[in-house]
Structure 1
Amino acid sequence: MEDLYLSEIFIYPIKSLGGISVQQAEVEERGLRYDRRWMLVDKEGNFLTQRQHSQMALLQVTLQEDGLSVTHKQGLLEPIFVPCNEHTDKEVAVTIWDDVCTALEVSNEISKWFSDALQMPARLVLMPTTTQRLVDQKYAQQGEIVSFADGYPFLMIGQASLEDLNSRLKEPVPMNRFRPNFVFRGGTAFTEDTFVDFTISAIAFRVAKPCARCVVTTINQNTGEKAAEPLKTLSSYRRVNNKVMFGQNLVHAGAGVVKVGDKLAVQSWK
């Protein structure tokens, strides 16, 4: 079998906003450094997502030396800077799916900027290091924790899988529709479905479960517009138990740096 190697790495510092392509990233206990460490919530503390608010796709995050810069992709707002280590002492109980955990509001000023940007009440919160949000215990190996990601520290997709999908579409879609952390090249379409354990840069990863896809895949990440594809086509050949699967959720053990070009070495297969 041909070599498998990382071809792209993405982080999403603020949940459901535009992601960042990086050449290398640090693997920490909760996932990649900076990935989903911030989140937008409503007045009740429920997480905000592109699933209901597709305009969130228009807010792009970039990493600065000591914080995040957030801009509007259509230039409708002045950028705002979010310092990495600054926050209020105001604790907020936030809800992500079935999980409730403690977060810290960043600042009233920054929350107002996001409320104006999204034209609805929104607060930006940060996950403190004291918050221990557990991975679903049905799939966790050793009590792994996760950031504000939907449920797992990492999502991985093979480039061949996207190419297979695009061969079935009238108009191809980019990888950003699926919001992975890791993209790899090598192997055939959906090779990742057969992985059990593998390493990248001597860090051990394990496939937890396939990723069930939702309406976010139908949102153009440059315009915020929705369409039927690619979910319609995916549902015709990637449906399992009435869920559409594309990509694999991962858990891990260890820490270190992963880089584009690193070899992905599979230890065991399904």
Structure 2
Amino acid sequence: MRLASIHFYPVKSTAGHDVTEAEVEPWGLKDDRRYLVATPDGEMLTAREEPKLLACRAEVSGGRLTLAGPHRPPLLVTPTSQLSDTQVWRTRVKLTDCGDDAAEWLSALVDRPVRLMWLDDPTRRPVNPEHGTPQDRVSLADGYPLLLASTTSLDQLNDWIAEGAVERGEELPEPLPMRRFRPNVVVSGAATPFVEDGWKRVRIGEVSFRMTKPCARCVLTTIDPDTLQKGKEPLRTLGRHRRIDKKLLFAVNLIPDGPGTIRVGDPVTAP
């Protein structure tokens, strides 16, 4: 198996970046999901509720974040020194407010008042203790430092989607791209679809990882990141073929054993 692609998302729920190599830090890829959008009362906001966030492209250069979008000129973000509690799923996390200019820029994009928040200290947020150790940390990803997906599994899913369309007498849809699932690392060459579900550990190049659990998918996967339109796939087909313990599963969560650098083309081994 080989590492086929690497992706990171500077601001949670915004457009991703494809890179040929990346630093692995204890809490995720360098610069991955260190920012998120929140409501004024401190509740995390994602593209599940506001698909327009997917139209925002965030760039990181020299440690500074720039926001680009279809509605306004790009904005260089200047964080404040103000810390406040933000609800990130089931936990409250202290994040740094990124100022009124960033808030106004993003509010204009999604047409509602929002704030941009920064996880200035990535050691602040622990992973779910059910699937990690007390020392494990995560950035602002949903639950774990990295998400791994397999091209073999995506090929199988797209075959199932096509078969379902034929059964319903519908026109064959275009295959879903991997970007619908927002992984960090994509592996090619797996012998069978969804074999990654059973891995306990995986090594990518020089970096080893622990597997935590398969990823339960949500409505975000049904949003076309180009048109921002919602559809029924892939959840309809995952519900038919990949419903396990009442969850619709695709891709697996990883925790790195230590830091290092991964590169597209690296060998991938799963003992």
Compute the TM-score of the two structures, normalised by the length of structure 1.
0.92
Percent of matched pairs sharing the same residue: 35
Paired AA for residue 76 in structure 2: F
Deviation readout 1:88-143 (Å, 9 max, x if unpaired): 11111001110101000112111111111111111111102275211100100352
Give secondary structure in 2 for the equivalent of 1:56.
helix
Paired AA for residue 217 in structure 1: T
Give secondary structure in 1 for the equivalent of 2:79.
coil
Give secondary structure in 2 for the equivalent of 1:103.
strand
Match of 1:219 among 213, 223, 232: 223
Gapped regions of structure 2 (runs ≥ 5): 162-171
Question: Following superposition of structure 1 onto structure 2, how do residues 1-270 of structure 1 map, counting pairs within 5 Å?
Answer: 4-72=1-69, 75-82=70-77, 86-129=78-121, 131-141=123-133, 143-169=135-161, 170-171=172-173, 172-187=175-190, 188-267=192-271
Residue 51 of structure 1, CA deviation: 1.1
Whole-angstrom distance in 2 between the partners of 1:228 and 1:130: 35
Residue 208 of structure 1, CA deviation: 0.2
**Once structures 1 and 2 are overlaid, which stretch shifts more, 232-241 or 142-151?**
142-151
Give secondary structure in 1 for the equivalent of 2:160.
coil
Residue 55 of structure 1, CA deviation: 1.4
Q: Is the 8 A contact 1:56 1:224 kept in 2?
A: no
Indicate the RMSD between aligned Cα atoms, in angstroms.
1.4
Residue 49 of structure 1, CA deviation: 0.7
Deviation readout 1:65-96 (Å, 9 max, x if unpaired): 44333222xx33222223xxx42111110011
Alpha carbons of structure 1 residues 157 and 136: separation in structure 2 relative to 1, 3 Å: same
Compute the TM-score of the two structures, normalised by the length of structure 2.
0.92
Deviation readout 1:154-178 (Å, 9 max, x if unpaired): 1000011111111122321111110
Residue 243 of structure 1, CA deviation: 0.8
Whole-angstrom distance in 1 between the partners of 2:123 and 2:212: 22
Deviation readout 1:230-262 (Å, 9 max, x if unpaired): 110111000011110000011121101111011
Aligned residues, how many?
A: 259
Paired AA for residue 109 in structure 2: A
Deviation readout 1:21-59 (Å, 9 max, x if unpaired): 111110112110000101110011111111111111111
Alpha carbons of structure 1 residues 208 and 39: separation in structure 2 relative to 1, 3 Å: same
